[in-house]
Structure 1
């Protein structure tokens, strides 16, 4: 295909893109940062100014060499954008030496253009003061503020704030690694988010509350609430939400009392080291409950009390350790009727591996009867620790094989390229220093090839070690895949060896040529 044909095809492709409506082009460009969106505008004259009307503004620090460059870009962009076009969403990903004024500039512009969705991500390890008062909007419906770790370190909360939110249109709020300070400016009795009257989905993940011993979440429209690793000076979490349908609590670090008033709750998921300390006026519409208690300090009495609040549940999932704990205190259930009258399904699964258990307790008949007697038609499913181990090892082996297969494909392509380019990489002059470098280069190639071969063999051995722990039927099922992988590894290692052999042969030929040239003694000129 000649250059003229290529150019025609490119122009035809660009013309097809240019014929798309603006909103679709905006959608396409929304998947990249605004900087790249502007760069792509040079594809066509039709696209030249399309970025000035984009409703999605994504500012990503990775697109810039420094925060100062990002700040200058933002100033330039906002001054040239079409001010008649509203801003639907802003994604701001930043870190380093940012300033509040820089963030304020973006937010004020977005709020003045009726923004609906705002996502802020803080990338670095140091804590920043971020007044929630900066976020003041009558149109904002979705707010997400999170910290992503550059390095895995001990947690230091990424955002701190001493003010409350006042967002009347907000329906979704996600806060991650946020310190919420309840000072004298905040009415502790009505809660930090009380001025978000339309809030429907609230997620607090890895947050810390200081300045108060209780957290109040009182929202008439809230339907979905997630509390994960909420820490601080709290003793009580008080939830009053008449429309709440789904409640998720991951309480791995602290032990709180949960006072829940949610008569329409349908789904409850709890994971933690402690028994859920729950006080409620009843969940009469509850359908799905998943309880996972893994700590050795869990109380059988607390769990039995908790069951009394869950009587209407239809689909109940418990980890095996809960049943073992109850079996060790079976006297608590003697002469007590089963609390569950609507059960359709009881699913039991283990969390701990066998080797983690010091005193494994057999599930007693009394416990099974206590759970199922009033729901005789309920299905009972118990997953053994051996089944979980097999599933885990199978998944591990599958992931390892997939990862190695990708690596082998990369190595095969790289070896083919190196063999094709080896002549250009091994040009040797006639001086002896070049010959010495020839030896040095050969040694490096051989060491690299040996290291790659060792890595491949090591990974295959690790995979085989996992496979040998599987039952015979599962090993037979995975054997063809592993055999195929070993065959691919053999091909790649042979290419590595061939590459080394080609280099040795080339160097040998060059040494021979060098010695032949060296041996020729010309007659002295007259």
Structure 2
């Protein structure tokens, strides 16, 4: 490698120790790792980011050119002190990598904006080498690059998170023409899905082998319904939808087994598409009080008719507890639940303030002095402990969830930071 690359990748103290004495010492200590077959060593290096995989060239002559045959490239700008060094490193990697070695995976992540030539070179390099797994997480206007990515016939997994320049509130429009016949895993972040007619967006029907789908901070344009149609989809995650807009998610996914939801509950899930779901994981929050999100959450629960495993966070249960008269409500669902897992986590600041406001409203409305005193004490306790880590478990909430499956196993675990 060139001296400039050495300066970027190899610490000064390591370079001083890189001599014949070091190699002799390694040999004396019977370097069993270096005796392993190349395919095993390359598999081990594939778990490292490219910067640290390349650094192994200093270990001995055995390792000098091994990195050039890496099947997986993980390029992270956070590994470098300056973007200039990162750009130079990426350029060198793409130039010096063995062209005969198949490229299985390429992951590229840049914190901050990026210039067009570099990202174009990375995408073209990956596509031209029949990459199977591609992950890109950048701040960039990628409209002109998407056709190249979305016509790659070898891709089986695609993770594409694209922030508009300056991290503005906008998002990238997903192109209408998609041709990814081998794709089984898709993760889209910060995209907008356009209407395909009938006031709904239908962006995923072209994927005939899709098994896992993650929709991350995505929105709709000129549509009120996101239609997800797939005969093969097994796992679906709806992450952090825009809290200021509400839209419906209609499912035509007969094989859907796992569902995960995070963020504010601003999505209406169509009940008819949830009958096949058996595993659910919900971790949601509220950022300002509105009766709509708690009611949406309750509607979700009503649709889980065949769920066997339900995982919820304590913040989720706090949102659910905001439904008026919740504990008197008879659930028509969760009759087949075998396991309820509750993740105890920090109570969010927004939920603390919402709970205090709601308790004070209830206290002002009650005519019972005893009840008013109890509510005052509850509000004072929440305020006093507003900086504590533990999120309280609402009274009666567990019994409410297992009312139709009293023999379900209940597990409470701490996830406190």
Q: Which TM class, normalised by the smaller chain length?
A: 0.5 to 0.7
1:144 aligns with 2:173: no
Q: 1:247 aligns with which of 245, 249, 259?
A: 259
SS in 1 for 2:182: coil
> Considering only CA atoms, is the larger Rg found in Structure 1 or Structure 2?
1
Shift in Å, 1:345: 6.5
Residue 319 (structure 1) aligned to one of 303, 306, 317: 317
Match of 1:54 in 2: 70
**Could you list the runs of 5+ residues in structure 1 that have no partner in the other structure?**
149-153, 275-292, 397-526
Instruction: Give TM-score scaled by structure 2 length.
Output: 0.65
CA distance 1:40–1:157, change in 2 (3 Å): farther
Gaps of 5+ in 2: 1-18, 364-370, 376-393
Establish whether residue 217 from structure 1 lines up as the match of residue 233 from structure 2.
no
Q: What is the 5 A alignment of 1:9-408?
A: 9-13=25-29, 15-64=31-80, 66-67=82-83, 69-96=85-112, 98-122=114-138, 128-130=141-143, 131-135=145-149, 136-146=151-161, 156=168, 160-164=172-176, 165-176=178-189, 178-182=190-194, 191-231=202-242, 235-250=247-262, 252=264, 254-256=266-268, 258=270, 260-270=272-282, 272=284, 297=291, 309-313=303-307, 319=317, 322=320, 325=323, 327=325, 330=328, 342=336, 357-358=359-360, 359=362, 372=403, 378=407
Residues 121-151 of structure 1, C-alpha deviations (whole Å, 9 max, x = no match)? 22x6xx6344422313222222223479xxx
- The 1:344–1:139 alpha-carbon spacing in structure 2 relative to 1, beyond 3 Å, is closer
Deviations 1:173-230 (A, max 9, x none): 2233x1325278x998672233322111111122233343221211111101011222
Distance 1:242 1:26, change over 3 A: same
Return the alpha-carbon distance in structure 1 between the equivalents of residues 76 and 411 of structure 2: 48
Q: How far is the alpha carbon of 1:51 from its aligned partner?
A: 2.3
Per-residue CA shift, 1:31-64, capped at 9, x if unaligned? 4443443343243223222222221222232455
Aligned equivalents of 1:213, 1:349: Cα separation in 2: 32
For the 8 Å contact 1:213–1:233, the answer to whether it is kept is no
> Matched residues in 1 for 2:294 and 2:108: separation?
47
Change over 3 Å in CA distance of 1:310–1:225 after alignment to 2:
closer
- Higher mean Cα deviation, 318-327 or 111-120? 318-327
Over 3 Å counting, the alpha-carbon distance change for 1:171 and 1:368 in structure 2 is closer
SS in 2 for 1:166: coil
Alpha-carbon spacing, 1:87–1:159, altered in 2? closer, same or farther (3 Å): farther
Q: 1:432-451, aligned counterparts within 5 Å?
A: none
For 1:304 and 1:6, locate their aligned partners in 2 and report how far apart those are by CA, in whole Å: 65
SS at match of 2:130: coil
- Deviation readout 1:297-349 (Å, 9 max, x if unpaired): 1599878876654444556678377468464784x76xxx9666546567899
**Separation in structure 2 between the aligned mates of residue 339 and residue 33 of structure 1, nearest angstrom:** 46
Tell me: CA distance 1:74–1:346, structure 2 relative to 1, closer, same or farther (3 Å): closer
Q: Which has the higher contact order (CA 8 A, sep 6+)?
A: 2
Corresponding pairs, count: 352
Residue 223 and residue 195 in structure 1: after superposition, are their counterparts in 2 closer, same or farther (change >3 A)?
same
Deviates more, 1:263-272 or 1:77-86: 263-272
Q: 1:15 to 1:216 in 2, by over 3 A?
A: same
Q: How big is the shift at 1:92? A: 1.1
* Matched-pair contact (CA < 8 Å) for 1:212–1:233: no
* Partner Cα separation in structure 2 for residue 321 and residue 69 of structure 1: 46
User: What is residue 422 of structure 1 aligned with on the other side?
Assistant: none
CA gap of 1:107–1:325, structure 2 versus 1, over 3 A, is closer
CA distances 1:417-439 after superposition (whole Å, capped 9, x unpaired): xxxxxxxxxxxxxxxxxxxxxxx
Are residues 144 and 10 of structure 1, via their aligned partners in 2, closer, same or farther at CA, if it must alter by over 3 Å?
same
Give per-residue Cα distances to partners, 1:352-401, cap 9 Å, x unaligned: 77867334899999x979974x66x6369799xxxx9xx79xx67xxxxx
Q: Aligned to 2:207, what secondary structure does the other structure show?
A: coil
The alpha-carbon distance between structure 1 residues 82 and 272, as it changes in their structure 2 partners (threshold 3 A), is closer
Whether the 8 Å CA contact 2:277–2:306 is kept in 1: the answer is no
